[in-house]
Amino acid sequence: MDLLPSWYILPAAFILDLILGDPPSLPHPVRWMGRAIGVFEPYFRKIPCRLIICGALFAGFLFVATAIVTLLILNAALRVHPFVKQGIEIILIYYCISARSLEDAAMEIYRDLLQHAPSEARKKVALIVGRDVDNYETEGISRAAVETVAENLVDGVISPIFFAAIGGAPLAMAYKMVNTLDSMIGYKNEKYMYFGKASARLDDILNFLPSRLSIPIIALAAHILSGHGKRSFKTAFMEGSNHSSPNAGYPEAAFAGALAVKLNGPNYYHGRRVDKPYIGVAFGKTLPQHIPKACHIMMLASFIWLGIVWAISAVLAVYF
């Protein structure tokens, strides 16, 4: 079976995400992935070897198993009819993309801030970031929302489309499993310092190229919307490495330059202060009005990226 998706599958999956977002009433493979992580983790912890190796086996097993299960589902659907297989692949890739839900989450926070309801905004920020936000006021809440939009443009759009274009739904779903592993066990705490290390590193490896490819895409979107593409690109190039993550700093720096805001910096995690360098050091505070602007950049960048990948896929479909 050819893993490369037909030229219309990626646009269809993206449009489905724009229409539906992430309705909680629908079953979602990411929730199933979370359950699988919880079920298999105890078994891999019992393997008689170093914890870091157990964690590596755990991450590798779930990555490969997700790709194989997805491939088997698509093969079974193909036996019914090629259209059934393509329809299921569209749905599976749609589940890997989260542009609409990302925009919805950020804009809910923005609306709370406009209505002078910072306590409600803090509750919603706490759902999308892993840091302590109890003491956040308007600037901190706005900064966290913009950072989430920037970072998750890669995790929720750039990378899924990238891997779907290379290996169809199986590779996109396998990527999503790694992303879920990183969000659940990729922490530097006592429980996961060693067991979760491989999951975090695998997520870093998979996002390495997409995070850097996002820079010109974000800069182009910023140039179209506000004429600040050059500043966006320059900030990403100069300050993208100013982050504890090897990847997250690049899209964040591109957004910082596009919006002329200061992002990142020291934060508290589980009561412990973590000193991170600032990104966009020459710029000002992040304000509520920067949240919709970040969403506009994110959505336009998503369309631009889809258009580039779609064009390449269409050419390959015609000639190969």
Please give the average per-residue pLDDT across 49-68, as a whole number.
97
Number of domains observed in the structure of the chain: 1
Looking at residue 274, its pLDDT comes to 75
At 320 the pLDDT is 67
Residue 66 has pLDDT above 50, yes or no: yes
Is residue 130 predicted with pLDDT exceeding 80?
no
Listed range (49-53, 99-103, 145-149, 185-189) with the worst mean pLDDT? 185-189
Considering the domain boundaries, does residue 35 fall inside one? yes
Residue 3 forms part of a structural domain: no
Q: Report residue 279: phi and psi, to 5°.
A: -120, 130
Tokens 């539906």, located at residue = 20
Q: Is the dihedral of CA 111, 229, 302, 180 positive or negative?
A: negative
Q: Give the N- to C-terminal CA distance of the chain in Å, as an integer.
A: 15
Residue 4 pLDDT > 60: no
Burial of 67 (0-12, 13-18, 19+ CB in 10 A): buried
Tokens of 75: 């093969």
Q: Distance between CA atoms of 136 and 234, rounded to whole angstroms?
A: 29
Task: State mean pLDDT over 37-48.
Answer: 96
Least confident stretch, 4-18, 77-91, 230-244: 4-18
Would you state the pLDDT for residue 272?
Answer: 76
Q: d(Cα 80, Cα 26) in Å, to the nearest integer?
A: 24
Residue 4 lies in a domain: no
295's tokens: 């969403």
Other C-beta atoms closer than 10 Å to the C-beta of 42 total 8
Query: Lowest-pLDDT range, 26-35, 89-98, 156-165?
Result: 26-35
Mean pLDDT, range 54-61, rounded to an integer: 97
The full DSSP string for 36-60 is HHHHHHHHHHTSSS-HHHHHHHHHH
Flag whether 121 is in a domain.
yes
Lowest mean pLDDT among 29-38, 251-260, 291-300: 29-38
Range of the domain at 223: 9-319
Does some domain include residue 209? yes
pTM, to two decimals:
0.93
pLDDT at residue number 1? 42
Least confident of 57-71, 150-164, 176-190, 230-244: 176-190
Structure tokens at 160: 């899924």
Per-residue pLDDT of 142-166, as tens digits, reads 999 999 999 999 999 999 999 999 9
Residue 132 CB neighbour total at 10 angstroms: 15
In this prediction, residue 5 carries a pLDDT of: 59
DSSP 258-303: HHTB-EE--EEETTEEE---EESTTSB---TTHHHHHHHHHHHHHH
Distance CA 146, CA 73 (A): 37
Residue 127 confidence (pLDDT) above 50: yes
